[in-house]
Structure 1
Amino acid sequence: MTELFSPEWMQAYAQQWNTEPELTEALGKIHFSSVIGYGFEDESEPRGVISIVNGQVTYAGTYNSQKLNWDLRADSHHWQQWLTNGLNMMGVSMAYMTRKLQFRVGDYLAMIKDPRMAGPFIKSFTVMSRV
């Protein structure tokens, strides 16, 4: 298995993302463009990053001080748990409230209240599990 958030893992994640219409089409409709970092809660910077333009991942790889719109962190145990079991809306809310899933950058509450973004956010965890 490729190391979580390594450049190879991020590129495989991007390939899966770009083949998932519930992400690409849904986010394309709202012209969603963002830079999202992923990493571990005990590290100062994210390990991996994806750049999204109108719903499509255009870059995936190592974090190199890019300006982030979102920075998602958790410990390795919880990342693995979510990759294995998935994550639904209630699970995301509980993970956020208990700080198992941290948003170092980004407005979780605004995102989760917008169904145009909340659905794709949940779907992104399903896509992660395919890597």
Structure 2
Amino acid sequence: MPELFSDDWMVDYGNAWNDESDLGDALAKIGFSSNIGYGFDGEDQPRGYLQVENGYVTGAGAYSGQPLNWDLRAKPADWKKWCDGGLGMMAMGMAYTTGKLKFKTGDYGAMVKNPAMAGPFIKSFSVMGRVATS
């Protein structure tokens, strides 16, 4: 099984994202296109990235300097907890306000106030849980 945010894991996550119409279709409706980085708190750069165009992943893998619209960071134990159990709106708010989930790039406030973005963001955590990790 691939390691969380490794090249292989990110490709599997991208495929799982594209298989989830509640995620891709919802984001396509608002024309969501972004590069999203994922990594661990305290590291200089993210470990993995997704390139999303009109709601669907068109590129995924290990991060190698791509410009990012979103850069999400947390401790490995928190990522594991969220992958295993998902993340609801209340839990996401608590994770953000307590500093467990950090947005090094991206506007958390604007995202959480927009239901068309917040719902799919929450959904992306349950999709993460479908990807096996070592």
TM-score of Structure 1 vs Structure 2, range by shorter chain: over 0.9
Alignment length, in residue pairs? 131
Q: Aligned-pair distance for 1:64?
A: 1.1
What code does the residue aligned with 2:79 have? W
Instruction: Give the Å deviation of 1:85.
Output: 1.3
Counterpart residue type for residue 9 of structure 1: W
TM-score under structure 1 normalisation?
A: 0.99
In the superposition, the TM-score normalised over structure 2's length comes to: 0.96
1:8 aligns with 2:8: yes
Percent identity between the aligned chains?
58
| Partner residue, 1:63 | 63
What SS does structure 2 have at the residue aligned with 1:2? coil
Q: How far is the alpha carbon of 1:76 from its aligned partner?
A: 0.4
Which amino acid in the other structure matches residue 26 of structure 1? A
Over the aligned positions, Cα root-mean-square deviation in angstroms equals 0.5
Secondary structure at the residue paired with 1:51?
A: strand
Secondary structure of the 1:122 match is: helix
Question: Over residues 81-114 of structure 1, what are the superposed CA-to-partner deviations in whole Å (9 max), with x where a residue is unaligned?
Answer: 1111111000000000000000000000000000
Q: Kindly state the Cα deviation for residue 42 of structure 1 after the two structures are TM-superposed.
A: 1.7
Matches within 5 A, 1:45-64: 45-64=45-64
Runs of 4 or more consecutive aligned structure 1 residues displaced over 6 Å after TM superposition: none
Q: Which letter maps to 1:41?
A: D
